[in-house]
């Protein structure tokens, strides 16, 4: 019975991953074909293969393809990093959206755009560095004989609130043009994406995601508690430091390229847990869910609502009710968070 149960769970996991991959492929194809001008699959494939197709080479190759790739890359980054925090701290509220990391990158970007007048590359660098610094500050302030999930979340929420106030102050003093640019970035948008913005995210994914996947077993063991995990050969402090730095790096690079797309990191893990069940690590399923969320939300924001909205607005509409639901459920069962 145990063997059959494991086999069923493993089959369910493989099937779910295959379905998610297929949906991402379909979503990417639709994104590349559909727009103000429809291009048939043959033209899209020829453009991807490097052939020159009148009209499609520019529209698909320079506008739609970088946008779709960034949506997938940012979604993968947000998804895997978000579930890493939620797993490590054993709390669904432990998402970079909630604990201040995204707020740190956002404040830095607003400062770079409005006050310093920097360009896109410099803004990205500011966002990456600030995300890492805020994560370090939250970790240090919440550290007392180890890191407790609830304490880290509360510290992160407090720092996020302060940073949001700083961001609001910066925007209140912005000129009209700078205000529009900063607001677009802060909302979370992949409009006007170029390959120069996509490449750093792809490099970060290629370098950092294998580190997280390599720590998946240790990460799962830490859920047993700080007393049990060392008995099973896991160095809890070292594991947490590695996964925090790696996950924050992914979040920072994705945020620098696409802005703080709301609630993707927050939603991906719980959705993956519902569809996969208890069939092993959620890192890969959550990453795929994140990619699918961003792809679908961007398409909906562009073509399904009568007017065009940035992807962050659509994901925010999806995520806010779930956050309220989690808080209400925690209060009803008497949880601390």
d(CA 251, CA 232): 30
Q: Which residues make Cβ contacts (< 8 Å) with residue 332, sequence separation at least 6?
A: none
pTM: 0.87
Helix (H, G, I), strand (E, B) or coil at 105: helix
Q: Looking at residue 19, what is its pLDDT?
A: 94
Longest distance between any two alpha carbons in the chain, whole Å? 67
Beta bridge partners of 143: 147
Q: Which two tokens stand for residue 23?
A: 């949906």
Q: Estimate to the nearest angstrom the gap between the alpha carbon of 223 and the chain centroid.
A: 22
Taking the CA atoms of 166, 252, 98 and 147 in sequence, report the sign of the dihedral they define: negative
pLDDT at 99: 80
Judge whether 289 and 106 are in contact, CB under 8 Å: no
The CATH superfamily of 2-333 is ABC transporter involved in vitamin B12 uptake, BtuC (1.10.3470.10)
pLDDT at 327: 65
Domain positions in the chain are: 2-333
Q: What is the residue-level pLDDT of the chain in tens, covering all 337 positions?
A: 656 766 777 788 888 999 999 999 999 999 999 888 889 999 999 998 888 888 888 888 888 999 999 999 999 999 999 999 888 877 777 788 778 888 888 888 888 888 887 777 788 888 888 888 888 888 888 877 666 667 788 888 899 889 989 998 998 888 877 787 788 778 888 888 889 889 999 999 999 999 999 988 888 787 776 677 777 777 777 888 888 889 988 988 898 888 888 889 888 988 888 888 766 788 999 999 999 999 999 999 888 877 888 898 888 888 778 777 766 765 555 444 3
Burial readout 16-29 (b: 16 or more C-beta within 10 A, e: otherwise): bbeebeebbeebbe
pLDDT, residue 334, reads 47
* pLDDT for the residue numbered 204: 92
């Amino acid at each position: 019975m145990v063997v059959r149960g494991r086999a069923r769970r493993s089959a369910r996991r493989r099937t779910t991953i295959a379905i998610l991959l297929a949906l991402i492929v379909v979503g990417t194809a639709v994104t590349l074909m559909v727009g103000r001008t429809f291009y048939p699959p043959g033209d899209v494939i020829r453009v991807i293969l490097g052939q020159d197709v009148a009209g499609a080479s520019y529209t698909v190759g320079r506008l739609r393809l970088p946008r779709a790739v960034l949506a997938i890359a940012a979604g993968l980054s947000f998804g895997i990093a978000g579930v890493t925090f939620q797993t490590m701290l054993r709390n669904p509220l432990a998402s970079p959206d909630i604990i201040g990391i995204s707020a740190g990158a956002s404040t830095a970007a607003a400062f770079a755009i409005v006050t310093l007048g920097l360009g896109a590359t410099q803004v990205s660098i500011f966002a990456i560095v600030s995300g890492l610094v805020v994560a370090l500050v939250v970790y240090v302030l919440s550290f007392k004989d180890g890191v407790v999930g609830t304490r880290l979340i509360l510290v992160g929420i407090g720092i996020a609130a302060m940073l949001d106030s700083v961001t609001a102050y910066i925007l209140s003093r912005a000129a009209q043009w700078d205000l529009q640019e900063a607001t677009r970035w802060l909302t979370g948008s992949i409009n006007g994406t170029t390959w120069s913005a996509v490449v750093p995210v792809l490099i970060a994914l290629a370098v950092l995601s294998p580190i997280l996947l390599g720590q998946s077993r240790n990460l799962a063991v830490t859920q047993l508690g700080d007393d049990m995990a060392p008995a099973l050969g896991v160095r809890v402090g070292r594991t947490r430091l590695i996964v925090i730095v790696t996950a924050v790096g992914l979040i920072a690079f994705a945020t620098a390229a696409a802005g703080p797309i709301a609630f993707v990191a927050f939603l991906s893990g719980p959705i993956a847990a519902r569809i996969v069940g208890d069939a092993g690590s959620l890192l890969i399923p959550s990453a795929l869910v994140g990619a699918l969320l961003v792809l679908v939300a961007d398409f909906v924001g562009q073509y399904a609502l009568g007017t065009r909205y940035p992807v962050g607005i659509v994901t925010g509409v999806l995520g806010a009710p779930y956050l309220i639901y989690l808080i209400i459920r925690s209060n009803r069962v008497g949880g601390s968070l």
